[in-house]
Amino acid sequence: MNAALPFARAPHRLLIEPIVRHALEEDLGRAGDITSELTIPKDACNKATLVARTAGTIAGIVTADCTFRLVDPELKFEVRIPDGSSVQSNTILATIEGPSRALLTGERVALNFLGHLSGIATATRALVDAVVGTKARIVCTRKTTPGLRVLEKYAVRCGGGFNHRFGLDDAVLIKDNHLLACGGIRQAVERARAGTGHMIKIELEVDSLVQLEEALSLGVDTVLLDNMTPQDLHRAVAMTNGRAKLEASGNITLSTVRAVAESGVDYISSGAITHSAPSLDVALDF
């Protein structure tokens, strides 16, 4: 089991709680958990465990804790394995003790978050492990589930990755459609620089070494190398020679990420780690 990563700091509860509350409201509907209320005595209590059925990297313990405390503040939630930890199958992640009705009411929402976020952390960890020994950092994108970005990007951090932009207001990222809409690289960069403060970075997406040379001549902070071959990535690193940070993107998989990293790029971005990661099998056992 890996220790929790120091930079995998959880979002503030003020950010987590509205997301979890919305999920509970969706599940409870208009009449609440009628099955538990009709079948289980009000004073019945149990102790349950959250268990990872398969090996992986954990993210979402904080959302499970929030879920059960929103359902019933008197429930006792004890974390056994913190977010950011890698575990083997059948590992107990947390124990919850209290009214049986409350345990069952919160079960599905807690597991939905925990399984989904742990899947993202696990997929991220696989890419991070694949590039060990290079300087490349694995970063996520804005290809996130609407409404869940703050949690999904947290899960990436739990897996050892780093966050790209959280939103459109974080930094300037000039992509191909921006260039087509505004008339070219120089126009886009000069207009962006004229309207940004000193804290805002400018990144430009290019898909050829010719575009890269123009981008470097304009002094952008970062260049996104889109769908380039490992050979062209090596050439791009040599051309840049430290004048800008380089980010490789496009069709990043476990089978290709090592070759991309060995080109010498600084960052490798993947949308798949958030939009296509399979959920980790996590269960609640009484």
Query: Is residue 44 domain-resident?
Result: yes
Query: Is residue 7 domain-resident?
Result: no
Residue 143 falls in the annotated catalytic set: yes
What does the block give as tokens for 143? 């290809």
Query: Is residue 6 domain-resident?
Result: no
Neighbouring residues of 149: CB distance < 8 A, sequence distance ≥ 6: 142, 166, 167
Annotated active-site residue in 143, 165, 193, 258: 143
Beta bridge partners of 174: 204
- If asked whether residues 87 and 140 sit together in one domain, one would say no
Q: How many domains does the chain have?
A: 2
Query: Is residue 1 domain-resident?
Result: no
Annotated active-site residue in 205, 232, 247, 266: 205
Annotated active-site residue in 175, 191, 193, 258: 175
- Mean pLDDT value of segment 90-99: 98
CATH of the domain at 192: 3.20.20.70
User: What is the C-alpha separation between 90 and 75, in angstroms, rounded?
Assistant: 23
pLDDT band for position 5 (cuts 50, 70, 90): low
Query: Is residue 175 domain-resident?
Result: yes
- If asked whether residues 108 and 220 sit together in one domain, one would say no
CATH of the domain at 112: 3.90.1170.20
Phi, psi of 46 (to 5 degrees): -150, 165
User: What is the C-alpha separation between 220 and 204, in angstroms, rounded?
Assistant: 7
Annotated active-site residue in 47, 53, 108, 245: 108
Is the pLDDT assigned to residue 15 strictly greater than 60? yes
- If asked whether residues 137 and 256 sit together in one domain, one would say yes
pLDDT of residue 3: 47
Is the pLDDT assigned to residue 43 strictly greater than 60? yes
Residue showing tokens 């199958």: 89
- Summarised one tens digit per residue, pLDDT across range 253-277 is 999 999 999 999 999 999 999 999 9
- If asked whether residues 19 and 89 sit together in one domain, one would say yes
Is the pLDDT assigned to residue 8 strictly greater than 90? no
Query: Is residue 153 domain-resident?
Result: yes
Query: Is residue 8 domain-resident?
Result: no
- If asked whether residues 51 and 150 sit together in one domain, one would say no
- Mean pLDDT value of segment 82-96: 97
Residue 107 falls in the annotated catalytic set: no
Residue 175 falls in the annotated catalytic set: yes
Is the pLDDT assigned to residue 2 strictly greater than 80? no
Annotated active-site residue in 97, 226, 262, 281: 226
Is the pLDDT assigned to residue 286 strictly greater than 50? yes
Q: How many other CB atoms sit within 10 Å of the CB of residue 44?
A: 12
SS3 content of the chain, % helix, strand, coil (to 5): 40, 20, 40
pLDDT of residue 251: 86
- If asked whether residues 143 and 77 sit together in one domain, one would say no
Residue 135 falls in the annotated catalytic set: no
- If asked whether residues 103 and 82 sit together in one domain, one would say yes
- Summarised one tens digit per residue, pLDDT across range 202-259 is 999 999 999 999 999 999 999 999 999 999 999 999 999 999 999 999 989 999 999 9
- If asked whether residues 271 and 135 sit together in one domain, one would say yes
Query: Is residue 226 domain-resident?
Result: yes
Q: According to DSSP H, which parts of 100-223 are helical? A: 100-130, 149-158, 176-182, 185-194, 209-217
- If asked whether residues 80 and 203 sit together in one domain, one would say no
- Mean pLDDT value of segment 68-93: 97
Asked if residue 25 lies in contact with residue 252, where contact means CB atoms within 8 angstroms, the answer is no
Phi, psi of 254 (to 5 degrees): -60, -30
Structural domain including 148 reads: 130-275
Asked if residue 198 lies in contact with residue 169, where contact means CB atoms within 8 angstroms, the answer is no
Closest CA to 56 of 3, 129, 118, 130: 118
- If asked whether residues 76 and 168 sit together in one domain, one would say no
Q: Reading across the β-sheet that carries 222-226, which strands appear in turn? A: 137-139, 267-269, 245-249, 222-226, 202-206, 172-174
- If asked whether residues 107 and 140 sit together in one domain, one would say no
- If asked whether residues 159 and 257 sit together in one domain, one would say yes
pLDDT of residue 138: 98
